Structure 1
Amino acid sequence: MTEFITFLQQKGFKQSTQKQIKRTVNDFFSVCRTEGISTTKKDVLKYLEHLKKAGKQNTTINISLRSLRYYFAFLLEDEIITSNPTNFIKIRGVKRRKLHQIFTAEELTQLADDYYNLFIKNFDDRKIKKNLRQYSFLGSQRNYCMLTFLIYQGLHTEELEKMTLDDIDLLKATVRIAADKRTNARTLNLNASQTGVLIQYIQSTRLELLQHYTEETNRLFLLSSKCKGTRKADEKHGNSFNYLKIQLQSINADITNLRQLRASVITGWIQTVGLRKAQYMAGHRYTSSTENYLPNDIEQLSDDIEKYNPF
């Protein structure tokens, strides 16, 4: 159990959460009298039924199921087991995250094209103060480059903010995404249409933006919060990401936030490359995280899922 606690610590869980997960795992083995290496879906279902008979609410049962999922993910990572017995077990009646309106890959590409035409090719600076026009145009070029990573690699804004020049391999046309508390590290291919945009940004736009920056940095994207002065062209909107969101909303009113783009990309991956590969590409540590992007009526998609859904 000590190695499991270390596993939870490495995943960034708070001490109180670690204790709750440990209690659930110990209770599971006390009730089912089985060993981790031989645990089956039936054992997990037996334990969930035990909790239900004990009067536990579905929300509490779901928390217990999630705790078990972490434990078997630990065994799976250590190659002690070959599959996670909690996979595809879901509790009915638990309010799930509401999915954003999902855009197709074609719609995302069109969004990027519209952004380029409106804010770069036909950039209108008449309403911008003369001393801010150059920086504003550079900011739009940077935002366009960031947008390509949102719609092709499905990145978090936090991941964009932490990316460095060393993460880009133009020869192999790949980008390396570092691990953080929420996601695993992974290496993803650059989109063919993205490479030219990235080269232009690194060799020209970024160097010009660096002149407005307060310090030398290896960060790929130079954001407005680090720029000299307090009233740069896009800081009045909060920060570079918020300004990008506002720009995109002026193109498509159905956009609510930048997470919606990531949700759309992951949903598309599930449909085109499958759940497992989508999990890797999204950086999700657990299959259940990727399953959240399946359609809301997931219970009706498969007889197998129905069979393993006890409530």
Structure 2
Amino acid sequence: MHYLKVERGLSANTVASYRNDLQTFALYLAEQNLSYQSVTKDDVLAYLQKEMDTGKTNATIIHRITSLRKFYQYLVQDQIVTQNPMLLIDTPKKQQHLPEVLTTKEVETLLNTPNTGQALGMRDRAILEVMYATGLRVSEIVNLKLNDLHLSLGIIQTIGKGQKERIIPIGDVAIHWLEQYLQLSRPKLLKNKRSPYLFLNFHGNQLTRQGIWKNLKKQVQQAGITKEVSPHTLRHSFATHILENGADLRIVQELLGHADISTTQIYTHLSKRRLAEIYNQAHPRA
């Protein structure tokens, strides 16, 4: 894991997901009385088949293969093993899955849900506004620090995947709610403590990813939204809505922090789907 963090520069969340994959593989090897040094291609295929038989998704299987590939590359590189069983293992094609996206009306309803008369409600409104205004990942939101804000310039800086820094513009509405949170709510949550982090929990400590998930679940329920909504849904909605309003795909790639534009292209499919929905509603012979 030190190799992944230091030499590969991967984020803590990515390292944790690799650790989980390798622990699952290690349990399988123990069940089969195998060691990772003696593993063959057939052993890996048997392991992957077992994972599929237990209902693991296509995306999970792809992630398992990626983790094992990196693991054995490391073992060969450090001469811990001489044979790499992953060399002849093909990665299955990723299933095209269009993420759930909120309509602009649903976003508006969700943003208006928190009770801004309370410190936590003001914080939650600011979080939702920033997520929708910037498309930040939930891990980027919880790691935002006060010195990452440049509100007079209308920008936020963040460290994304692969420790890559990016600068993101933020709109006036989100800036307004951030300023309200900073003036009226954050001092109450801080409770005479000191913290470099922007978003705090009730005890004045850094808010966690799990905290945002839990709060969002309640807010979605209160808003009467029946779709499956996660923090990533706001990121998807951000990207889809700005594309629908004429943004260039390369700009969206830059804003989202995607290394490869093929990752961003899924949002063009979402925009086309929305276009088809509007056509079907509007055309008399559709």
State TM-score, norm by structure 2. Answer: 0.56
Deviations 1:72-114 (A, max 9, x none): xxxxxxxxxxxxxxxxxxxxx93424223322445423431x3
C-alpha spacing 1:148/1:261, structure 2 compared with 1 (3 Å): same
Q: Partner letter of residue 243 of structure 2?
A: I
Deviations 1:259-291 (A, max 9, x none): 111111112233321211100001111112212
Do residues 109 (structure 1) and 108 (structure 2) align? yes
Deviations 1:149-174 (A, max 9, x none): 11111111111110011111121121
Do residues 262 (structure 1) and 260 (structure 2) align? no
* Aligned residue in 1 for 2:211: 239
* Aligned residue in 1 for 2:257: 283
Q: Partner letter of residue 116 of structure 2?
A: I
C-alpha spacing 1:220/1:263, structure 2 compared with 1 (3 Å): same
* Aligned residue in 1 for 2:116: 120
* 2:221 equivalent among 221, 228, 249: 249
Q: Partner letter of residue 194 of structure 1?
A: A
Could you say what the CA RMSD is over the residues aligned between the two structures, in angstroms? 3.5
Deviations 1:5-30 (A, max 9, x none): xxx9246798xx9xxxxxxxxxxxxx
Where relative contact order (Cα < 8 A, 6+ residues apart) is larger, the structure is 1
Count of aligned residue pairs for this structure pair:
190
Q: How far apart are the structure 2 equivalents of 1:257 and 1:120? A: 21
Q: How far apart are the structure 2 equivalents of 1:295 and 1:226? A: 42
Q: How far apart are the structure 2 equivalents of 1:203 and 1:296? A: 38
Do residues 210 (structure 1) and 190 (structure 2) align? yes
> Unpaired runs of 5+ in structure 2?
1-6, 19-57, 67-91, 273-286
Deviation at 1:293, TM superposition (A): 2.9
Q: Partner letter of residue 181 of structure 2?
A: Y
> Unpaired runs of 5+ in structure 1?
1-7, 18-58, 68-92, 122-136, 229-233, 299-311
Q: How far apart are the structure 1 equivalents of 2:161 and 2:247? A: 24
* Aligned residue in 2 for 1:151: 132
* Aligned residue in 2 for 1:126: none
* 1:139 equivalent among 115, 120, 137: 120
Contact 1:176 1:188 in 2 (8 A): yes
For the residue of structure 2 that corresponds to 1:254, the secondary structure is: coil
